[in-house]
Structure 1
Amino acid sequence: MTAQPPSKEFLIQSRAAIIGVARDNTGEVVERAGLHVKDGVIVAVEPFDELKAGHPDLPVEGDGNAIVLPGLINGHHHSGLTPLQLGVPLEPLEFWLPQFRGMRYVGHRLDTLYSAIEMLEAGTTTVQHIHPGLSGHPDDWTTLSDAVIGAYREIGMRSSFSFMIRDRNQLVHEDDEPFLDRLPEIDADYWRPRLASSKAPIADYMAWFERRKAHWQGMDADKVSWQLAPANLHWCTDGCLTAIFDTAERTGSKVHMHLVETHLQAEFAQKHYGKSAVQHLSDLGCLGPNLTLGHGIWMDEDDLDLIGSCGCSVCHNASSGLRLASGVAPVNDMIRRKIPVALGIDQSGINDDRDMLQEMRLVWSLHREPGLWTPRPSAAHVFRMATEHAAATTGFEGRIGRLDPGKAADVVLLDWKDIARPFIDERVPLLDAVLLRSRQMPAKTVFVGGEKVVDAGRVISIDREQVLEEISDILSSALSPVETEARERTEALMSHIRNWYAEAYPASGRQPYRFNSLARRPPF
């Protein structure tokens, strides 16, 4: 299926438009609004009847039942087919990630399109794509990144591309060689070259990044952004981090870094540096407004004070923290310090998909702490996380995240009848109604840069059914000898990894359940 050439100029009719979030943390709602879109940009937001009277010949999208909102932004995403779909059980992160090495892969284009279909049909128009890593020769890196970015462009999404950079500790919280030396020879011989191929000199990564960023700035600066992604503190030496942040400063690039996602990562920092991971980054001079920290579950009060003073953002991935037993980030304490919190779905959401409104509902519910007067995130707080705050982390800041004149026409239309059936009292704020009552994969129509990419709830710029059938055919076929060996060697590896963690982080007795490092022991 091929999309029709988009109208360069048109109007959008609505029952109401959610422009964004006001300074007083209420939704900016314009009833019976019309949007005038021209050449991919919002020209005006005015009462629809007035716009129509002034432009009687322009085509009209939407109708009097449409709720119009800015395109949502997935601020933290990795890949397409979910690990659960590919046979990897949900376990704590340290046991979950190594099992990816035994997963099958459908190729860069199909894998990217799969999650992009889900994102667009749920109203997500921009994604921060953090690729799990690069292997082989720089030519292979280019092939991979071009295929991923090409898939997003093919389906019509806006993407910020980055790749996770590691120079140590790829399997456990210990450097690769000592760990491999203790493995049986057959296992060490299998894993040694594979680990080596995914760890290049940091200077090579930086030089390649600068070339590819410049290439895509010339090719499609409107819909493609690049940034750097040091994988995590336990995966990066200080020299690696310094090189990355120096490159980011020199090239004006943003940085997205996983940090203290699990309590073991927080313990790693204390064990190796005698301080928190956040404090170590501060001492290295890495904290600043260009940095987004992914997860941040195990930050303490001092960490949050540092983050609040340096202008960093945090990307909250609520479903991920729950599904992998990592914990719950102290989002209310971040909001209290005015730390910009973006929203990401990470590998997948609570429904094993990429439904951003579902993720927003989860965040709203998860952080409703007990107490009569306890601060809690409002619908507006959460909406801003998935729009303005997430936009600021992508490299497209100032261009997306709101429905203001001059902004890109990244626009989502929901059907009010789907939300309100059979009834919603008029006293319910529109943002609350949209957030708490929208259905799964709710978008009826979606525009990215003024181009229609979803119509009647389905993507139209690609043949979605063909993509799904191709994926099914590949994954339903018999395992190849290479895939069989990868699965067997990964299963054997996992027993060694579990033993390593049992020795390195011995349990000192069962601890009371806690969400994060700010949680206090219950008073009973």
Structure 2
Amino acid sequence: MRLDANEFLIRSRAVIAGVDADNEGEVIEAGGVLVRDGLIAAIGDFEDLRRANPDLPVEGGSGAIVFPGLINGHHHSGLTPFQLGVPYGPLEFWLPQFRGMRYVGHRLDTLYSAIEMLESGTTTVLHIHPGLSGSSDDWTSLSDSVIGAYRDIGMRVSFSFMIRDRNQLVHEDDAPFLKKLPKDEAEYWRPKLEASKAPVSEHMRWFEDRKSAWAASDADRVSWQLAPANLHWCSDKTLIAIFETARKTASKVHMHLVETCLQAEFAQRHYGKSAVRHLADLGCLGENLTLGHGIWVDDEDLDLIAGCGCCVCHNVSSGLRLASGVAPVNDMLRRRIPVALGIDQAGINDDRDMLQEMRLVWALHREPGLRSFRPSAAHVFRMASEHGAATTGFEGRIGRLDVGKAADIVLVDWDDIARPFIDDGIPIVDALLMRARQMPAETVFVGGKKVVSQGKVTCIDRQAVLKEIADRLNSAPDAQEQEARRRTKDLLGHIEDWFTTAYPPSSRPRYRFNALAESD
């Protein structure tokens, strides 16, 4: 079959169309999908579809498990910090070390993680770029490079960029912190920090222009949204401007919030209330907002989030690897808060395997107790599909296999899942979640175009990409890179001293899953 065929059938052992209102997988045994012009034209029994369309080419087969393309709802960059020499540790000490990392360029970096996402069944990504610096021409060049890489490999992308106007290194503004540094160190860092603090009004004008341009150019594959970095990184004035622009342009907003206990404490110290309550008082909570992480929220916060219709993006591997904590996902689900999933910088295996991330979510939130609420495999499947879609700007078009939706479709091999045996009583969704192997996607379509075949991406030369990355990073660091690493190491010592003084050790709640479970 031609990769660009406009119409074809998909045959399966079972089609997982989505999850129903009772959180059960909607499964069509021996199902089929008719794809026409990039959309799902029909779905049902394969033999019925075959009889109605006898001359169409057929993808898949009697051993294929078919399901909607997964959505990575929170992603930043390609090569992981660990690969680039940054060991995992508390977020406040981990993030500053990025300033000493080497970089292979926007296109290669994007393609690297996109390969891993597609080959594990992720067809859409919410890309949150770490930030913008330089002139608006530089911003356009950066965004075009990143978006262009996703388009070339065949993914959908919701693009955003983190916006900060204060406190870039510690929980006080840059100027007073830099005054505490030795003069030569302050002089090195000052211009770099200033370069990433463009006036928010300029950011907003540029965002409106680029969102409009991409809507005209490729609204099917590219959406834009806003990403205020976090409460401690954004002044109230900046937050209000961002959310006003979001309302004006009907844009989604994705905001990191209370990822660590220190971020929660920052809000209490500076506002006398929780971060969620402060956003509510500013008028920033609403259905267009997704809160990234949301680990250190309390019951009152969750009630506010549930009442306003916000989504939360759960980044389970990130919370564990960075010792940030465990989000109260079960409490969110009890309140019917939509929960999406993100892999953040990397999953538990330092890659972007969404099915593996889903398995970790399922396992981590199994509260002890005979009658405790625990998410089912179907709950988690919905997080990575339908709920993820709701955060992207492509909502209503992806996340399920329904007539009229985009043909973003993943096929995995049942034999790889079931080898040597799975009892017929095990639901298909559970089997997929529990036993999918690493990078399991055999075939992937995005908008009806085949972008993965026999487990490998088809639209780019993956080996050439990996070789070019290896060649660049195996070369000796240049003088500028060596200085950045040295300066960053010195800076980290000052940052550690600042946080140790500002936040002396105190009693913290234990991990939520260690609390005694309710007996009923």
Same fold by TM-score greater than 0.5? yes
Match in the other structure for 2:389: 391
Match in the other structure for 1:257: 255
Match in the other structure for 1:231: 229
Mapping 1:466-505, distance limit 5 Å: 466-505=464-503
1:437-458 superposed Cα distances (whole Å, 9 cap, x missing partner): 1100000000000000000000
SS of residue matched to 1:294:
strand
Match in the other structure for 1:205: 203
Match in the other structure for 1:459: 457
User: 2:179 aligned with 1:181, yes or no?
Assistant: yes
Query: Structure 2 CA distance, aligned partners of 1:522 and 1:20?
Result: 31
Match in the other structure for 2:21: 23
Match in the other structure for 2:510: 513
CA shift, 1:57, in A, is 1.0
Match in the other structure for 1:73: 71
1:123-171 superposed Cα distances (whole Å, 9 cap, x missing partner): 0000000000001101000000000000000000000000000000000
* Among 102, 105, 108, the residue aligned to 2:103: 105
Query: Structure 1 CA distance, aligned partners of 2:264 and 2:51?
Result: 60
CA contact (8 A) 2:369 2:517 kept: no
Query: Structure 2 CA distance, aligned partners of 1:220 and 1:153?
Result: 10
SS of residue matched to 1:69:
strand
* Among 361, 364, 368, the residue aligned to 1:363: 361
Deviates further, 51-60 or 65-74? 51-60
* Among 321, 324, 332, the residue aligned to 2:319: 321
CA contact (8 A) 2:368 2:517 kept: no
CA contact (8 A) 2:372 2:517 kept: no
1:353-406 superposed Cα distances (whole Å, 9 cap, x missing partner): 000000000000000000000000000100000000000000000000000000
Query: Structure 2 CA distance, aligned partners of 1:64 and 1:521?
Result: 46
Q: For residue 326 of structure 1, what is the amino acid of its counterpart?
A: S
CA shift, 1:522, in A, is 9.7
Match in the other structure for 1:407: 405
Query: Structure 1 CA distance, aligned partners of 2:26 and 2:2?
Result: 33
* Among 59, 62, 70, the residue aligned to 1:61: 59
1:276-332 superposed Cα distances (whole Å, 9 cap, x missing partner): 000000000000000000000000000000001000000000000000000000000
Q: For residue 465 of structure 2, what is the amino acid of its counterpart?
A: V
1:206-261 superposed Cα distances (whole Å, 9 cap, x missing partner): 00000000000000000000000000000000000000000000000000000000
Query: Structure 1 CA distance, aligned partners of 2:17 and 2:157?
Result: 22
Evaluate the alpha carbon distance shift between residue 426 and residue 503 of structure 1 in structure 2; reply closer, same or farther with a 3 A threshold: same
1:170-201 superposed Cα distances (whole Å, 9 cap, x missing partner): 00001000000110011000000000001100
Match in the other structure for 2:439: 441
1:454-483 superposed Cα distances (whole Å, 9 cap, x missing partner): 000000100000000000000000111110
Q: For residue 336 of structure 2, what is the amino acid of its counterpart?
A: K
SS of residue matched to 1:46:
strand
Q: For residue 513 of structure 1, what is the amino acid of its counterpart?
A: R
Deviates further, 33-42 or 50-59? 50-59
User: 2:227 aligned with 1:216, yes or no?
Assistant: no
* Among 152, 155, 158, the residue aligned to 1:160: 158
Q: For residue 420 of structure 2, what is the amino acid of its counterpart?
A: P
SS of residue matched to 1:414:
strand
CA shift, 1:515, in A, is 3.9
CA shift, 1:513, in A, is 3.5
CA contact (8 A) 2:367 2:517 kept: no
Q: For residue 376 of structure 2, what is the amino acid of its counterpart?
A: S
CA shift, 1:520, in A, is 4.8
CA contact (8 A) 2:158 2:224 kept: yes
CA shift, 1:54, in A, is 1.3
Query: Structure 1 CA distance, aligned partners of 2:338 and 2:462?
Result: 35
1:50-92 superposed Cα distances (whole Å, 9 cap, x missing partner): 1111111111000000000000000000000000000001010
TM-score by length of 1: 0.98
SS of residue matched to 1:370:
coil
Query: Structure 2 CA distance, aligned partners of 1:394 and 1:8?
Result: 26
TM-score by length of 2: 0.98
Q: Which runs of 5+ in 1 are unaligned?
A: none
SS of residue matched to 1:293:
strand
Q: For residue 398 of structure 1, what is the amino acid of its counterpart?
A: G
CA contact (8 A) 1:379 1:432 kept: yes
Number of aligned positions between the proteins: 518
CA contact (8 A) 1:512 1:521 kept: no
Match in the other structure for 1:136: 134
Identity of aligned residues (%): 72
Query: Structure 2 CA distance, aligned partners of 1:237 and 1:511?
Result: 27
CA contact (8 A) 2:17 2:402 kept: yes
CA shift, 1:511, in A, is 4.9
Query: Structure 2 CA distance, aligned partners of 1:522 and 1:94?
Result: 31
CA contact (8 A) 1:342 1:386 kept: yes
